[in-house]
Structure 1
Amino acid sequence: MKLNRTVLTVGFSAMAIVTVIGLSGLKKAAVKPADNRPNIVLIMADDMGFSDVGAYGGEIPTPNIDGIAKSGIRFTQFYNTSRCCPTRASLLTGLYSHQAGVGQMAEDPFGNAADDPFHWGTPAYQGFLSNNSRTIAEVLKPAGYHTYMTGKWHLGMHGQEKWPVQRGFEKYYGILAGASSYLRPAQPRGLTYMNQNLAAPDSAYYTTNAFTTNAIDFIREQKDDKPFFLYLAYNAPHWPLQALPEDIALFKDKYKVGWDAIRKARFENQLKQGIFDKDFKLSNRDERVRSWDKLTPVEQERVSYRMAVYAAMVYRMDQNVGRLINHLKKTGKYENTIFIFLSDNGACAESYDEQGSGDTSLINSPKYSSVSYGMGWANASNTPFRKWKNRPEEGGMTAPFMISWPAKAGKTYQPGSFNRTLCHLIDLMPTFMEVSGAKYPGTFNGKPTPELQGRSIMPALASKPLSVHPYLFFEHENNCAVRKGDWKAAKAIKDTQWRLFNLATDRAEEHNVAQQHPDIVKDLNDHWQEWAVKNGVLNKKKS
């Protein structure tokens, strides 16, 4: 009897199949029902501003990312934690970053477990993911999902127990550190595959391309039809400024018009797209940034080139998002995949120079350096908001966020629509649990796991309203904020007075109305203080 490959894939051994067929030609081996749960692809940009992609008003060509928005839903009030590693901790655990052990920064590549500068000795500030928190991968994997990650980890380095494979990811390729060279990542800011640190590449290399290639390979190598969760965490466009020459050439003259003209054009495009209504007011240019016409011609040439390189980095990321989507289309996996694209914080102004840090000669040097594009362009990247990464203003903590499920587009939700409900990173874990049927463990190693803080945003993909967060809380590097409905208060932790803004009429945060509403300030302060005490926010270091 000849047995073909199709028969053998039912799940029986060849001997068992021969026996079954020999006994009765009418008997058929039981076939396990197909798993129709969707794949989940979570794509995160690093230090990319609110308006850098076309779907949020930008002029950088990003057709593939924009395609996710056109087939999905764009959120206009989605919050992060305003900094790379706390955002990653909150995103992966469904907790506030302090609950997950990363209230400040993750471990430094040059430290060690004994004396790392970010081991502050308290649970909220230990510098790596807490052992009792559970990652999305650790929750989805027992529910039958394959779990893959490529890209930037930034949640613990010293000891493999803190690495992605030990935190639920079946396969991992990327950088453990918070930043690296795009062209030649070298240890201790180098590449890691699974649990092995790799030598620096000795041939042409670019992280954005490599992260995507490995993500596609992980999916291609999958031997079954189980759904997968892919977390693709690009390091683009985080400094250092490093881009492919052919990409830079596309933008070399584009930004000579200056940051004022770019801000104006982006804002007009945002109004045209309907991201904001016609009554929305553009924030003033940051007070530490001069108008473009006050820069000398030499300064304009120097700093416009930096923005060209930054734009090239965003462009290359979009091209790679397209590579991934095309692979999923070719393999029939696209329609039943949920796509999410977001940024981890607002655009980065580090090291707080108007025109960027580091000498121009360092741009595209394969060596790692902190060469950046400066406050002027960060302010433009975050159009229409104030400030940038690490700040409690909207420019620091508001992310572009879009979600699509092609199989449901036009059926259960309107593709290309907006959702204006207040949302946060803590909502992603409950979202993925709802769509996968995964259960959140109540205990781990005999200890209770922290209670999840968010709620699912899946109703948005069924054209249903989302429940409202009563309050949302923020603190990073002593920058504090609390939001309730349209009211937002912000201050430095040492300050006694909160600034208060009504974001329904002043999302540009130009008008502090704290004196007019002392009752609202008191309510927001009381709830923030309660949250801060409960989550160890104020107990920063061991005395």
Structure 2
Amino acid sequence: MSEKKPNIVLILADDLGFSDLGSFGSEIQTPNLDQLAKGGLRLTQFYNSARCCPSRASLLTGVYPHQAGVGHMTEDHEIPGYRGFLKDQCVTIAEVLKESGYHTYLSGKWHVGEKGPVERGFDDFYGILGGFTSFWDQKDYSRLPKDRPTRHYEEGEFYATDAITDYALDFLKDSRSDDQPYFLYLSYNAPHFPLQAPEEEIAKYEKVYEKGWDRIREDRLERMKKLEIVGEDTPLTPRSEYWNRDRDIRGTNPAWDSIDPDRQKDLAKRMAIYAAMIDRMDQNIGRVLDDLRENSELENTLILFCSDNGACAEWDPWGFDNWKTTSNFLHREADLEKMGGPDSYHSYGSGWANACSTPLRLYKHYGHEGGISTPLLAHWPETIKRQGEIEHQPGHFIDIMATLVDIANAPYPDHYKGQPILPMEGESLVPIFKGEERQERTFCFEHEQHCGVRKGPWKLSKVKEGDWELYNIDNDRTEMRNLKDQYPALVTELKGIWKEWAERTDVYPLRGVKQRKN
């Protein structure tokens, strides 16, 4: 490891599915991220916290989301695990690295509450403070501190993914005015709804998705096997269930061939826009990589890429065109041409989310593998020599703080601004980067009463209304063979671990959250 502290670029995608990168089996063009995979390491069993706010809270603080105060979203439920903002009892990566001499920048999405990024250790910020907005309307994007210079975009020039990268490159340029290392948190809001992308990107994919989600799932799984992302004997799961937002309607994604041709065209266009958003994000990541190369920084920069949760199934196979009502509009003929533009608003629905989670079960919100699994790319030529390798050891967002503290040789405080600070929950990934085996890990999950606990190869998963299910992830990553009746003592043990964790990390009381409208 170099005597000079490494620069750090942490790239977070928003609602990207487990199999949405080319290096993880996708048909979507992601050549820049695929180059990071080829020159670095792919982790196939890395976990987030199932949804945007909790995952971001955990990523930034190195503790579980409820401990950080963001067990649900940004509403304040006035109970410890559900304040809706980062509590003073935790520190952010930016706060820790800033104390260790790093410039700290955030370009993209914040979405962890009213105490903004500048208040939580970032020198500069550009992006959205909330969860989602139009990619075409620059008025919802902020520059902080407010006295900092801003870019001017003529009408029709602004597209959020491009602008987020523009500012990220400005921040990197500013950082080079001295010899301090930098930490850039590049937190794209793509490919989160509303699904919007430039026409030239959408055009690349309009024909691709006419084959439908059943064929896409089959093709992705075959590529994943060849890439060794999953085992050769991994089955394609049945089409997943879905629930509407109020959870009073439940169904199963239909076979593509059973869908009316007009509806197929509408759905294929939605997925084409989603793919275009990922493609454009990859192009912008390429701009950042080019900048690092041109400034001879790529060798000693740790780049991590991951997603905040699994693919977004909200809320049925057809997707929605209005977030507040979740109503769907069937687009035909001329209306199809307008999809993805400034006046449109779409999600792509549970059928495509099922494809983007290939081959895993369920999606964003859930404690099953499809909800909590992210592709993780780690690239750092000076230290990670396992170029192009795949690693199946499990890890979690809580490990990122520990990793960055490790590589930056940064002191982690027990007090900050007069407040006692929670200890880190995670462990450094550096041993994995070096090809070493870590000891057996235990991770726990909860969001909206969808739960999970993993200890070594064993995992309990639970949908809110359902019973606990037991799986051996080593030979059943797709959670198809429920073994709870065969190992009742193990189920009892894992449930006990989960309940103890829930008490310790402020997951309880869940009832207080359940009774409020969200």
Instruction: Map Cα deviations across residues 445-483 of structure 1 (whole Å, 9 max, x no partner).
Output: 3332111101000112222223331x2111001111111
Instruction: Map Cα deviations across residues 163-209 of structure 1 (whole Å, 9 max, x no partner).
Output: 101100111101001001000044xxx11111449999662211100
When the two structures are superposed, what TM-score results if normalisation uses the length of structure 1? 0.86
Instruction: Map Cα deviations across residues 324-356 of structure 1 (whole Å, 9 max, x no partner).
Output: 000110111111111100011111011x12121
Partner-residue secondary structure (3-state), 1:516: coil
Pair 1:536–1:493, CA change in 2 (3 A): farther
Q: Describe how 1:393-404 pairs up with structure 2 within 5 A.
A: 393-404=368-379
Residue in structure 2 matched with residue 517 of structure 1 by the alignment = 487
- Quick check: 1:447 aligned with 2:423? no
Partner-residue secondary structure (3-state), 2:444: strand
When the two structures are superposed, what TM-score results if normalisation uses the length of structure 2? 0.90
- Quick check: 1:429 aligned with 2:383? no
Q: One-letter code of the match for 2:136? A: L
Residue in structure 2 matched with residue 28 of structure 1 by the alignment = none
Which of 290, 311, 329 is the aligned partner of 1:347?
Answer: 311
- Quick check: 1:363 aligned with 2:333? no
Deviation at 1:367, TM superposition (A): 5.2
Residue in structure 2 matched with residue 468 of structure 1 by the alignment = 440
Residue in structure 1 matched with residue 54 of structure 2 by the alignment = 86
Deviation at 1:368, TM superposition (A): 7.7
RMSD: 1.9
Q: One-letter code of the match for 2:339? A: I
Residue in structure 2 matched with residue 192 of structure 1 by the alignment = 142
Deviation at 1:132, TM superposition (A): 1.8
Q: Judge conservation of contact 1:184–1:367 (CA < 8 Å) in 2.
A: no
Residue in structure 2 matched with residue 418 of structure 1 by the alignment = 390
Q: One-letter code of the match for 1:255? A: Y
Residue in structure 1 matched with residue 326 of structure 2 by the alignment = none
Which of 124, 127, 134 is the aligned partner of 2:91?
Answer: 134
- Quick check: 1:291 aligned with 2:266? no
- Quick check: 1:148 aligned with 2:120? no
Unaligned ranges ≥5, structure 2: 242-251, 322-328
Q: One-letter code of the match for 1:520? A: L
Partner-residue secondary structure (3-state), 2:459: strand
Pair 1:200–1:217, CA change in 2 (3 A): closer
Unaligned ranges ≥5, structure 1: 1-33, 107-117
- Quick check: 1:221 aligned with 2:171? no
Pair 1:492–1:354, CA change in 2 (3 A): closer
Residue in structure 2 matched with residue 536 of structure 1 by the alignment = 506
Instruction: Map Cα deviations across residues 354-386 of structure 1 (whole Å, 9 max, x no partner).
Output: 1211134573342584x2011111000010111
Partner-residue secondary structure (3-state), 1:355: coil
Aligned-partner Cα distance in 2 for 1:300–1:494? 32
Q: One-letter code of the match for 2:316? A: D
Q: Judge conservation of contact 2:81–2:508 (CA < 8 Å) in 1.
A: no
**Percent of aligned positions with the same letter in both sequences?**
45
Residue in structure 1 matched with residue 76 of structure 2 by the alignment = 119
Structure of higher CA gyration radius: 1
Q: One-letter code of the match for 1:433? A: V
Partner-residue secondary structure (3-state), 1:514: coil
Q: Describe how 1:5-404 pairs up with structure 2 within 5 A.
A: 36-106=4-74, 118-157=75-114, 162-186=115-139, 190-196=140-146, 203=155, 204-222=157-175, 223-287=177-241, 288-350=252-314, 352-358=315-321, 359=329, 360=331, 361=335, 363-366=339-342, 369=345, 371-404=346-379
Equivalent pairs counted in the alignment come to 485
Aligned-partner Cα distance in 2 for 1:375–1:493? 18
Residue in structure 2 matched with residue 489 of structure 1 by the alignment = 460
Pair 1:200–1:531, CA change in 2 (3 A): farther
